[in-house]
Amino acid sequence: MTHAVLWIAGGVAVVAVLLFVVYAASVLRRGRRLGTRGLMQRSRLRCPHCGREFDYDWVPGVAFTAVRLGKYRYMACPQCHRWATFNIYDTMVPRAPAPVTGVGQPHEPPKPPLS
Ligand SMILES: [Zn+2]
């Protein structure tokens, strides 16, 4: 009997890990298509209570201040502090590309000091 419980618990753990890996891979794939880098993703969310927009930076599979519900998170709005469900997956925004600097770029000469 004990062995059966251990086998079932092990099976459930393996399935949970596999589901997490598939979810993280799908989020990272979507982020790569949008041009984001690394694990950190950004979503632009609109609060259903106050209607204000805010940017939300998040990591797939990690949440300390929100309840993860697949591609949704139940969390407090940073503007009005009321709790709501936000779709963080479909509202992901591409990160702005890094500014290009270095060799070959036009360089503006320093302006002379005003006298
Ligand atoms: Zn709000």
Within a domain: 96? no
Domain span at residue 44? Answer: 2-87
Within a domain: 10? yes
Return left, alpha or beta for 8; rule: phi > 0 is left, psi -120 to 50 is alpha, else beta.
Answer: alpha
Q: What's the structural domain count of the chain?
A: 1
28 CA from centroid of ligand 1 (Å) = 28
80 CA from centroid of ligand 1 (Å) = 4
**With 90 as the cut, is the pLDDT of residue 102 above it?**
no
Number of residues written out for the chain: 115
42 CA from centroid of ligand 1 (Å) = 18
Within a domain: 45? yes
Within a domain: 37? yes
50 CA from centroid of ligand 1 (Å) = 4
Within a domain: 8? yes
Question: Which amino acid is residue 68, in one-letter code?
Answer: R
Within a domain: 76? yes
Please give the mean pLDDT across all residues of the chain.
83
The string of pLDDT tens digits covering residues 19-58 is: 888 887 887 777 777 766 567 888 999 999 999 999 998 8
71 CA from centroid of ligand 1 (Å) = 19
